[in-house]
Structure 1
Amino acid sequence: MKRKGYLIKGVIVLLSVLFLVGLPLQNSWGKEKEINLNLATWGPPTGAIAQGIQWYADEVVKRTGHRVKIKIFWAQSLAKQMELPHACRTGTADMVAMLPVYHPELFPFMAANMECLILWGGEIGQGIKPYRKLREEFPEVRGEFEKQNQRLLAFWEYARMDVISKKPIKGLADAQGVKMRSAGMVLSKIFKAAGFIPVTMPSTEAYDAASGGVVDALLASPETTYKFKWYEVCKHW
């Protein structure tokens, strides 16, 4: 009997992405067997994003009648934030929650759309619509994940992004020469044009970078600021 592939489908309306590499659900004798999947993420098990990931894992268990179970590895315990795409591609993790904006060389279309989302600041669910439309119309967009042996499962969006800093920034005059933690190519160009000195780094390194003087300000959402305690090192919003 041929082996059948089983694809988990889910929707998480939360600016990261979940991937899954297809796995068999039945063995060669046709008997169903339990499948255990590892999901790696960079964030801690707190906050709205973590709640969404946990909900997703619980729903998979419930909707498959406990045949598929997902073990979540929080806070980079299975792979570092910048290594998540590689971990998924090579099988270290079966699924990852990650930020394509840090990997434009792998996911150019999604990374560009995410930078637009960061600047969007609009209603949740609306900012991702252009990318969905591009995926429907252009196979090149749909294929950027398949090239990495991965499949896009879900999106999430932040409602807003702000700048938090060690000293007050009330206008462009205050931004001159301020070292700003950035993410992606487009945002770095925007910050540079405004007078900031952009420093690209993942969110997991931002706290130490701010406390150690590597950066003076952070691009942040309320969710990420709370989760990583950035308010301790950058007190001006």
Structure 2
Amino acid sequence: MNKHLTGAIAAALTVAFAAEASATEWNVSLWGKRRAFTEHVEKLAELVAEKTNGEFTLNISYGGLSKNKENLDGISIGAFEMAQFCAGYHRDKNRTITVLELPFLGVSNLEEEVAVSNAVYAHPAVQKEMAKWNAKLLMTSPMPQYNLVGTGEPRDTLEKMKGMRVRATGGLGKAFEAIGAVPTSVTATEAYNAMESGVVDTVAFAPHAHLAFGTINIADWWTENLNPGTVNCPVVVNIDAYEALSDAEREALDSSIDEAIAHYLDNYGKLLEKWDSILAEKGVQKVHIADAEIEKFKKAAAPVKDQWIADMTAQGLPAQELYDLVQDTLKKVRGGS
């Protein structure tokens, strides 16, 4: 009897180990904490687990796997299977995507941001560049236009922004530089300390980041309509890991992207709806920038786009084509020709 029981237990354990071995677990490298910026990844993990009955899971880590500026490097060596990064953190590694970070592109809402990102991500030159890092672009992390928070007297004119030390990365940093400000690219997680200690005078973020990283808690004012541009932050997967998935697992992942993005947009929309009440609660003054000042800003920042096109073209990239793709996509989304 004992012999039969031992055999049954061994068989059961063998089945259990085989089931465990057949399950697929991916590690996902994010940073900060769960917030509006990461809700699509959280939703993706939920959907993939549901569709595969728990046989394919995404283990999300907030800073435990890598520093945010090193996520693309981690993907390239297979340190983890999925990660989020922002193009402005390492512009030399993802040059083509930085077209989406140029100032005053004309994107007016999150749906348009998704559309232009998807169009650029699908371009062969972009996919080829990402493949150098063994990275496949999975989905974007659409963010509203950035605006400033600061302390003391509001910086509501270009003249007052001269010499202003501002946390701004990528094309936004170049735009502020064009009007005489001094950009610095401290990471999102460093922004609060930089502002509190006086390393920077102002911080440019989307609303969720001002909340998540606490800059709104020490701010006296917020520019409600400067809207110089935004940062583009893709979610990527390791190509080898993606290709190693079974057909069913790959289908579960790919088919969940649109729903994950829809969840993100809905969640972010709710945040924007209560933004005014958040400002009031924290005693932060809304500062409206005059139209004439914004037009001067646009004019001053215009060479940033031209220089980007010239620089990227010189490096053998289809820069003008990528810029035109963004503009053409905006026209299509708005029903233009």
Please indicate, yes or no, whether the TM-score normalized by the shorter chain is above 0.5. Answer: yes
Q: 1:17-68: per-residue Cα shift (whole Å, max 9, x none)?
A: xxxxxxxxxxxx9x981011100101302x2223322111111111222211
Which residue pairs with 2:25 in the alignment?
36
> Does the 8 Å CA contact 2:28/2:80 hold for their aligned counterparts?
yes
TM-score (norm 2): 0.56
3-state SS of paired residue (2:113): coil
Give RMSD over aligned pairs. Answer: 2.2
TM-score (norm 1): 0.78
The higher radius of gyration belongs to: 2
Cα distance in 2 between the residues matched to 1:175 and 1:55:
40
Which residue pairs with 1:101 in the alignment?
88
Structure with larger RCO (C-alpha < 8 A, sep 6+):
2
- The alignment status of 1:69 with 2:57, answered yes or no, reads yes
Q: Which has the higher strand share?
A: 1
Cα distance in 2 between the residues matched to 1:56 and 1:133:
21
Cα distance in 2 between the residues matched to 1:103 and 1:134:
18
How far is 1:143 from its partner? 1.1
* Counterparts of residues 173-212 of structure 1 (less than 5 Å): 173-184=159-170, 186-212=171-197
Distance 1:117 1:146, change over 3 A: farther
**How many residues align structurally?**
203
Counterpart among 147, 162, 181 of residue 162 in structure 1:
147
Structure 2 gaps of 5+ residues are: 1-17, 223-337
> Does the 8 Å CA contact 2:76/2:133 hold for their aligned counterparts?
yes
Which residue pairs with 1:9 in the alignment?
none
> Does the 8 Å CA contact 2:121/2:137 hold for their aligned counterparts?
no
> Does the 8 Å CA contact 2:113/2:143 hold for their aligned counterparts?
no
3-state SS of paired residue (2:167): strand
Cα distance in 2 between the residues matched to 1:85 and 1:232:
31
Counterpart among 214, 218, 221 of residue 203 in structure 2:
218
3-state SS of paired residue (2:44): helix
Structure 1 gaps of 5+ residues are: 1-28
Which residue pairs with 1:57 in the alignment?
45
Worse overlay, 218-227 or 164-173:
164-173
